[in-house]
Amino acid sequence: MSSNPLTALQASPSTHGQDGPTRVLIVDDSAVARALIARQIEPHERFRVIGAVTHVEAALTFLNDHAADIILLDVEMPGVDGITALPRLITAGRGARVIIVSASTPAGGAAAVQALAHGAADTLDKPRPQGLAEFGDILLQKLDGLAQSMDRPVQAAPAPVSPLGSRTRPAVQRSLPDIIGIGASTGGIHALAKLLAPIPATMTVPIVVTQHLPATFIPFFAAQLTAVAHRPCIMAQDRMRVRPGEILVAPGDAHVTFVRLTDGSAAIRLKHERARSGCLPSVDPMFASMAELWGERAWGIVLTGMGRDGLEGARMLKAAGGTIVAQDRDSAVVWGMPGAIVTDGLADLVMTPDAVGAMIAAGGSC
């Protein structure tokens, strides 16, 4: 394919949604990778590859004249790399979602997590000739999820109104719980960064996070949260005690559940079987176990993500008297997971991630 963004592929003049297919821009210095990615997309009429360029400056030039809905961005390129260029591409994309394409190596995992924390919507392992069928399935799943998130209906599903949404509402006072569980998927790392940033280091309620990520990404994810939250963030291990002030992160290949110890404290129990949601790790077992051990003294927070993971567990936590918080539609990259919570009538509060963090920082007052 040509590296000239204006001649590589013709740009679609249509807007996203009912007027035409979802428009995809590929940014990768490898001709082989560009060809392999385009070949997986082009047979599907709901998508259109509108450009395939070799470097960041070409992408920025292309975006000056053409609109893309999704940008597939390589991390390692000559000149300006994808991580450095990400803020400029997000601005130039005018709402386009960015999927980071990286090698399945420690360096690639660290770069991908860094990109997710700075606003990329999702990640994807670089294609390999011997694994094209699996790569194509994963790519299309991610493209479909992001495309659906852009098709926002005129009227949202009925939802509780966040008390922060109106200054005329009286303040709502909630005591902080004994534990906070957070579930997230696509767009979750950026949302988590916004949620955790306002919380002071003196807040002692333990936080447990289930984020859909490959297992190889989890150490970098934990390090990223440690930097943002200014408190220890540790990958959960079996039989590990739940300690005040710590953030525990589910490993990429196990669900986090809990057991009560004889001294009244709690410890982690990792489970590896597939949840009904099909996710591993899954938010559902975490919320269900929180309902059993803490009941009304637990908060379950559901952030941006594809699918409905967390819904079943939130039902159990809500039935046990726990508080359920869902991310609002406008701030979510994909409103699948929080939208399912809201549509089911489970959300006590619907808020932006930074508003949730501010509420926790205020001791439960909002």
Which residues are catalytic, by number? 185, 212, 309
Q: Which backbone phi and psi does 229 adopt, to 5 degrees?
A: -90, -15
DSSP 239: T
The residue among 357, 241, 257 whose CA lies nearest residue 317 is 257
Question: Taking a C-beta distance cutoff of 8 angstroms, is the pair 71, 25 a contact?
Answer: yes
Alpha-carbon separation of residue 352 from 95, 114, 332, 358 (angstroms): 18, 21, 8, 10
* Residue 258, SS3 per DSSP: strand
Question: Taking a C-beta distance cutoff of 8 angstroms, is the pair 241, 216 a contact?
Answer: no
Question: Taking a C-beta distance cutoff of 8 angstroms, is the pair 140, 133 a contact?
Answer: no
Instruction: Tell me how far apart the alpha carbons of residues 90 and 118 are, in angstroms, rounded to a whole number.
Output: 10
Instruction: Tell me how far apart the alpha carbons of residues 79 and 58 are, in angstroms, rounded to a whole number.
Output: 12
Question: Taking a C-beta distance cutoff of 8 angstroms, is the pair 76, 104 a contact?
Answer: no
* 10 CA to centre of own chain: 31
* 128 CA to centre of own chain: 25
Instruction: Tell me how far apart the alpha carbons of residues 72 and 138 are, in angstroms, rounded to a whole number.
Output: 13
Instruction: Tell me how far apart the alpha carbons of residues 223 and 110 are, in angstroms, rounded to a whole number.
Output: 10
* 67 CA to centre of own chain: 24
